[in-house]
């Protein structure tokens, strides 16, 4: 039963991977062209104070970035979400574990008492 | 049978671990906001990248760990004399699965929060996003089935089968943009300039290391938790056996 389930699972996974691999490029050919994916992240340069041309270019870039500055709220929300999720998970696990340890200690005490009674 | 507690002494060497890992995470956060420069085109919101990609890496490692441990469980449970190892593999699979889903959830929350200012939409049905969503659903399904099965052998086997199927999905997520297109940034895996050397790379390396180590610690915590649950169940069984004896 397990062997059959295991073989079926592996075969299905393999077939799915092959199908997706074969169909993918064909589907991509028919799709309308998309904007290219970003492949690099570069820091914004800080021009020298006497380089007016660079200062003007920097202003243009800053203006473009300003259109996206509303992203600061999303940035804050993202980092708050990350920390809340991690903290809740960590604290919940620790609390459950502490409760289990206490339960286990109580069970051990009960077992010891029962064994003692039986022996006596 | 006398149930034994995992002793506090056994856990003592790792008591300092959460503090160290917490300090690592805080240091990463300081680097993200105060050391890493503002990105040229995307601006401030690009700072989501550091924890988003690190979380995705932790999630994918969790899914691979779950799939491999499930495979090990399915194989070991059929071999005579390896029952203990099979239980270890089963516990490991659940622990990896839980942590994978946790970080997958973080990716699915931070991704749209980055997409809105960058692409002007919270969600787009591009291959990598869809595959990630489906993979997280698949492993949530695994956890639900595994939690429902508890000690039932058939349920455990079926859940393990689902996890094994989820393994190849991780590879597909990795190659999704190259194979099927999409405008998901390809900074780490693409052929472009990549991440700028200096503070950007340092910040990313620190975030990746601290989040992955924290994920590893969470897997260990969850493993200990599942071991304790099994021991408590065993202790109840022993107690009821003793109480029923005349």
pLDDT tens track for B175-205: 877 778 777 877 776 666 677 888 899 999 9
Q: Pick the closest to residue B214 from B90, B36, B51 (CA basis).
A: B51
User: What ipTM does this complex have?
Assistant: 0.87
pLDDT of residue A13: 64
The residue extents of the domains of chain B are: 44-185+194-226
Q: What is the mean pLDDT of residues B142-160?
A: 90
Give Dmax (Cα) for chain B: 79
Residue B21 half-sphere exposure toward CB, CA atoms < 13 A: 18
Residues of A with Cβ-Cβ distance to B49 under 8 angstroms: 41
Nearest Cβ partner for A75 among B44, B167, B187: B44
Q: Are residues B168 and A14, on separate chains, in Cβ contact within 8 Å?
A: yes
Options 3.40.50, 3.40.1130, 1.20.120, 1.10.10; CATH of B44-185+194-226: 1.20.120
CA distance A70 to A82: 20
* Pairs from B16-24 (Cβ < 8 Å, separation ≥ 24): B17/B217, B18/A90, B18/B217, B21/B210, B21/B213, B21/B214, B21/B217, B24/B206, B24/B209, B24/B210, B24/B213, B24/B214
Compute the mean pLDDT over every residue in chain B, rounded to the nearest whole number.
Answer: 88
pLDDT score of B144: 95
Highest mean pLDDT among A31-45, B101-115, B121-135: B101-115
CB contact under 8 A, B41 and A65: yes
Look at residue A11 and tell me whether its pLDDT is greater than 60. yes
The predicted model gives B27-36 an average pLDDT of 94
pLDDT tens-digit series, residues B43-99: 888 899 999 999 999 999 999 999 999 999 999 999 988 989 999 999 999 999 999
More confident residue, B176 or A29: B176
User: E-strand spans in chain B?
Assistant: 194-195
Query: What percent of chain B clears pLDDT 70, i.e. is strictly above it?
Result: 92
| The pLDDT value given to residue A32 | 46
pLDDT at A31 over 50: no
| Residues B197/B187, Cβ–Cβ less than 8 Å | no
Which chain B positions have a beta carbon within 8 Å of A82's beta carbon? 51, 55, 106, 109-110
* DSSP states of B163-213: HHHHHHHHHHHHHHHHHH------TTTSSS-EEPTTHHHHHHHHHHHHHHH
Give the pLDDT of residue B4.
47
- Greater pLDDT, B16 or A92: A92
Structure tokens at A69: 């500055």
Q: How far apart are CA B55 and CA B106, in angstroms?
A: 7
pLDDT band at A102 (very low <50, low <70, confident <90, very high): very high
- Taking CA atoms, B159 is separated from A7, B6, B42, B140, B151, in Å, by 15, 27, 42, 11, 12
Of B32, B109, B225, the CB nearest to A93: B225
CA–CA separation, B225 and B90 (whole Å): 13
**What residues of chain B lie within 8 A of the CB of A9, using their CB?**
161-162, 164-165
CB–CB contact A104 B158 (8 Å): no
Domain boundaries along the sequence of chain A: 1-31, 71-120
Q: What is the pLDDT of residues B116-127, one digit of tens each?
A: 888 888 998 888
Chain A nearest CA to B232, separation (Å): 6
Q: Which two tokens stand for residue B76?
A: 């070991």
């Amino acid at each position: 039963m397990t062997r059959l389930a295991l073989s079926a699972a592996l075969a299905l996974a393999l077939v799915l991977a092959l199908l997706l691999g074969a169909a993918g490029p064909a589907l991509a050919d028919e799709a309308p062209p998309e904007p290219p994916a970003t492949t690099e992240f570069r820091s914004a340069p800080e021009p020298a104070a006497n380089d007016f041309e660079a200062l003007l270019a920097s202003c243009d870039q800053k203006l473009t970035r300003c259109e996206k500055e509303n992203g600061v709220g999303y940035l804050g929300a993202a980092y708050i979400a990350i920390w809340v999720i991690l903290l809740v998970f960590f604290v919940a696990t620790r609390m459950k574990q502490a409760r289990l340890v206490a339960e286990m200690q109580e069970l051990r005490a009960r077992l010891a008492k029962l064994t003692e009674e039986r022996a006596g | 049978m006398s149930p034994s507690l995992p002793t506090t002494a056994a856990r003592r060497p790792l008591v300092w671990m959460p503090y160290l890992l917490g300090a690592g995470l805080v240091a990463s956060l300081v680097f993200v906001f105060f050391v890493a420069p503002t990105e040229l085109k995307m601006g401030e919101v690009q700072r989501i990248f550091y924890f988003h990609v690190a979380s995705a890496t932790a999630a994918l490692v969790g899914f691979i760990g779950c799939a491999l441990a499930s495979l090990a469980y399915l194989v070991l449970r059929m071999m005579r004399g390896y029952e203990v190892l099979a239980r270890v593999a089963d516990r490991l699979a659940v622990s990896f699965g839980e942590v994978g889903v946790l970080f997958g959830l973080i990716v699915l929350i931070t991704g749209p929060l980055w997409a809105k200012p960058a692409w002007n939409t919270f969600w787009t049905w591009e291959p990598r996003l869809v595959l990630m969503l489906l993979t997280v659903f698949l492993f949530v399904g695994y956890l639900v089935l595994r939690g429902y099965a508890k000690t039932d052998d058939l349920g455990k086997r079926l859940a393990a089968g689902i996890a094994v199927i989820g393994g190849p999905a991780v590879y597909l997520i990795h190659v999704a943009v190259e194979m099927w297109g999409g405008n998901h940034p390809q900074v780490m895996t693409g052929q472009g300039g990549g991440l700028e050397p200096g503070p950007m790379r340092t910040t990313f390396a620190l975030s990746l290391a601290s989040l992955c180590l924290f994920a590893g610690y969470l897997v260990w915590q969850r493993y200990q938790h599942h071991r304790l649950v099994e021991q408590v169940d065993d202790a109840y069984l022993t107690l009821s056996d003793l109480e029923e004896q005349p």
